Structure 1
Amino acid sequence: LAGLAKGGSVPVSRGELIEIGGSYRLPDLMAASGTSLIEVGTTNRTRIGDYEAALDATTALLLKVHPSNYRVMGFAEDTPVAELAATAASKEVPFVYDVGSGLLDETAPWLAHGTPAWAVGEPGVRQTLEAGTDLVTFSGDKLLGGPQAGILAGSAELIEKLRKSPIARAQRIDGATLAALTITFEMYLNGAGAEIPFWAMVSRSDQELRDRLVKVAEGAGVDPLIRASDALAGAGSVPGMTMPSPVLAVTKRPADELWQGLLQARPAIVARRDAGELLLDLRTVDPSDDHHIAAVLRTLCLS
């Protein structure tokens, strides 16, 4: 915003005036960058005509923001990316889309079965660029699966302009983050995207998780009470969407006592409590750590 729109105005849908973790608010960011926010449309419905009506000689760029940590449901309408890109091109201003979560491709070609149901509808960086977007911004973590960082993709001319901004040096990432990002992108390029820890975790099958839970229960000396449950991708992405993920319910001792005991283990074990039961979900646990969970749980249940 400061590099491309300082001193100008930027139309943004009222349904996309986001606030994310840490009380980060888009209107505050725009004010700090020296741009004027022009609110268009309504909270639940914004059409291309709303943007067109806001365009004037002060318009510096068009901005679209994907609400990656909330959803507007029901009587709602979103402006297609291609329409916004065409309108921006006709007015000779850049079109910038913050897709948020960092899903590189909506078809998830690195996964054997393609896009999982919980990620359907999430905008992909590739498709967003193909629709004519000049610049796409997204996270290095979340659905990309790398370290926390902000990434720009798109027009080389615009990125070079931003690179020369004095703000760019203050915001550049450190060597460790750059190395982690490089490894993450190399895994995608080398056909190993499914091995990125995030994608490996969310791709674990129901049967695999159930088999592991039974072995943990046996090792802990507790009944294998396996229940159907759900897991969240989390990290401010795909809000409201869940994936099936079985859990082990432990009832030998009060849930609060077991939960505290697991937290005090070294390394600590984070479970969850629901309806008076302690629940263990192994989706994000490396299989090599299952024996540690079983041993700690056995000690707690025998004490």
Structure 2
Amino acid sequence: MKKFFKMLPSVDSLLKNEELKKIIDLAGRDLGKKTIKKYLATYRNRILETGAEPDLKQLISDIKTSLVKKSGKSLKRVINCSGVILHTNLGRAPFGKYMLDEISETISGYCNLEYDLQKGKRGHRDTHINEIITEICGAERVAIVNNNAAAVFLILHTLACGKEVIVSRGELVEIGGSFRIPDIMRSSGAKLTEVGTTNRTGIADYENAITENTGLILKVHQSNYFIGGFTEEASLKELAELGKRKHIPFVYDIGSGLINRPENLKIDDEPDVKSALRYGADLVCFSGDKLLCGPQAGIIVGKEKYIEKILRSPLMRVLRVGKMTYAALQTSFDLYKNEAKLLKENPAFAFLNRTGEEINLIAENLSEKLTKNGIKNYVVKTKGKCGGGTLPAVNLDSRAVKLDCFQDNRTEPSQEYLFHEYLRTNDFPVVAVLKEGNIYFDMLAVDSDETDILVDVICNWFNRQNQDAK
């Protein structure tokens, strides 16, 4: 056993090993040294436990694999073949080339984030987007924080801390990441007053709940589900008029970030910011990284007297955003000046506007390329979703390429799962649909120029399987 311990190389010799040298230079000497020590200790323990001769080639391979994994970037571009446009786990809205080109000049060097170029002295960061957002939304003022949950929290804490906030029972929502309206309200210091029932809440329910301690009326958009059948819902106009008559602010958490309603867009009855303000909401808050297709942000628009209170809150410093967010928001809202450009350059709108025939062309293109490489497949009709807490009732016509390569060899049913894992973990990750043992590549949110990458990724797997079989 002693001779086996002596067979293990020293840390210094492994640091100089030709096979490891390149990856150690990439990962850094400190990480390389730490990883080598870790695996040498593992192999010593293995000798003690088994008494077996160490496999030195495997030792080097283990060190190399570990360093490759640690030195690579964890956050990567992914090809989204899930059939969901605003996939919450895939970063929600993609920026798109136009957005990146527009903001790169601003953020690649210094910028006047808090410097007034006209006056030559310190300025305010919100001035860069206040004018364009108020103009597009029809608001008096705007405040920007780091996400919509923060926006809701800040509104409640500023305007209703220690007071009652009236909300319909049918709107006490939970979205991804365990964001629950009651929990946010409790943390803000506001007191929840539930009214109505899950399926029916009329204006009288709100009015009967008002007391001397009512701080605001809150409406929350049911962004990731919908209730149908025997239902009743107080209208925005009714709620706004009630708030005005009782001198209580009416706040609408829209969430989805639909600013207005472009013609011919598949948005069903999704509420929009501009209409909500026009109907009389005092404040509207929404996300920046959903249908707006901008950065993660919580955007609060509405009456100046309420926004001013929010901007003066010490929490604004805690929740404020930086130059990248302002630059991206500036570009996102600028697109609303030209509807044709908006529908083309806002990736979410571009995907939503695709017809089944357009998606079919992309699917057929991928299918033909795979067939030429000997991979059996066919195109199927599917139904996609907008996702991201938007348009929950809308099913979008889509097409997917379904692989038919695993049917001939049912002795290895795990191959589909191994392939699905490979797609996620290879150098260019692909998120596809694994359903009932079948792999689907849904083309709803896939750009035409991504099909060649998909072909390479898919073919690499099957080429490797064929080589292993030999």
**TM-score scaled by length of structure 2:** 0.61
Written as runs of structure 1 = structure 2, the 5 A alignment for 1:89-104 is 89-104=244-259
1:184 has 2:332 as partner = yes
Cross-structure match for 1:251: 404
Contact preservation (8 Å) 1:97, 1:136: yes
Task: Decide which of 356, 360, 377 is 1:210's aligned counterpart.
Answer: 360
The C-alpha deviation readout for 1:175-221, integer Å capped at 9, x for no partner, is 11121111111112243211111112222222222122222122222
Cross-structure match for 2:200: 45
The C-alpha deviation readout for 1:79-117, integer Å capped at 9, x for no partner, is 111000000000111110101111111x324xxxx231x
Cross-structure match for 1:141: 289
Cross-structure match for 1:159: 307
Q: Within 1, Cα distance between the matches of 2:426 and 2:241?
A: 57
Q: Compare 61-70 and 195-204 and name the one that shifted more.
A: 195-204
Q: Within 2, Cα distance between the matches of 1:12 and 1:241?
A: 26
Q: Within 2, Cα distance between the matches of 1:283 and 1:138?
A: 25
Cross-structure match for 1:69: 224
1:287 has 2:466 as partner = no
Contact preservation (8 Å) 2:252, 2:284: yes
Cross-structure match for 2:391: 238
Q: Within 2, Cα distance between the matches of 1:26 and 1:258?
A: 39
1:193 has 2:345 as partner = no
Q: Within 2, Cα distance between the matches of 1:269 and 1:19?
A: 28
Q: Within 1, Cα distance between the matches of 2:278 and 2:332?
A: 22
Contact preservation (8 Å) 1:217, 1:294: no
Q: Within 2, Cα distance between the matches of 1:256 and 1:147?
A: 34
Say which structure, 1 or 2, has more relative contact order (CA 8 Å, 6+ apart).
2
1:173 has 2:332 as partner = no
Contact preservation (8 Å) 1:252, 1:301: no
- Match of 1:61, SS state, is strand
Query: Number of residue pairs matched?
Result: 296
Written as runs of structure 1 = structure 2, the 5 A alignment for 1:91-130 is 91-105=246-260, 107-109=261-263, 114-116=264-266, 119-130=267-278
Contact preservation (8 Å) 1:231, 1:244: yes
The C-alpha deviation readout for 1:262-296, integer Å capped at 9, x for no partner, is 22332111111223321111222222221111122
Q: Match for 1:245: what amino acid? A: S
Contact preservation (8 Å) 1:219, 1:295: no
Contact preservation (8 Å) 2:428, 2:457: no
Cross-structure match for 1:225: 378
**TM-score scaled by length of structure 1:** 0.92
Contact preservation (8 Å) 1:139, 1:150: yes
Q: Compare 249-258 and 266-275 and name the one that shifted more.
A: 249-258
- Match of 1:176, SS state, is helix
CA RMSD of aligned residues (A): 1.6
Q: Match for 2:273: what amino acid? A: V
Q: Compare 176-185 and 234-243 and name the one that shifted more.
A: 234-243
Structure 1 unpaired stretches of 5+: none
Task: Decide which of 144, 156, 163 is 1:8's aligned counterpart.
Answer: 163
Report which of the two structures shows the higher radius of gyration computed on alpha carbons.
Answer: 2
Cross-structure match for 2:234: 79
Cross-structure match for 2:439: 278
Task: Decide which of 259, 263, 266 is 2:424's aligned counterpart.
Answer: 263
- Match of 1:248, SS state, is strand
Structure 1 position 223, deviation (Å): 4.2
- Match of 1:99, SS state, is strand
Q: Within 2, Cα distance between the matches of 1:10 and 1:215?
A: 54
Cross-structure match for 2:186: 31
Higher helix share: 2
Q: Within 2, Cα distance between the matches of 1:240 and 1:272?
A: 21
Q: Compare 214-223 and 142-151 and name the one that shifted more.
A: 214-223
Q: Within 2, Cα distance between the matches of 1:57 and 1:13?
A: 19
Q: Within 2, Cα distance between the matches of 1:225 and 1:162?
A: 55
Structure 1 position 131, deviation (Å): 0.6
Structure 2 unpaired stretches of 5+: 1-155, 407-414
Contact preservation (8 Å) 1:219, 1:298: no
- Match of 1:39, SS state, is strand
Structure 1 position 224, deviation (Å): 5.1
Contact preservation (8 Å) 2:289, 2:297: yes
Q: Match for 1:108: what amino acid? A: P
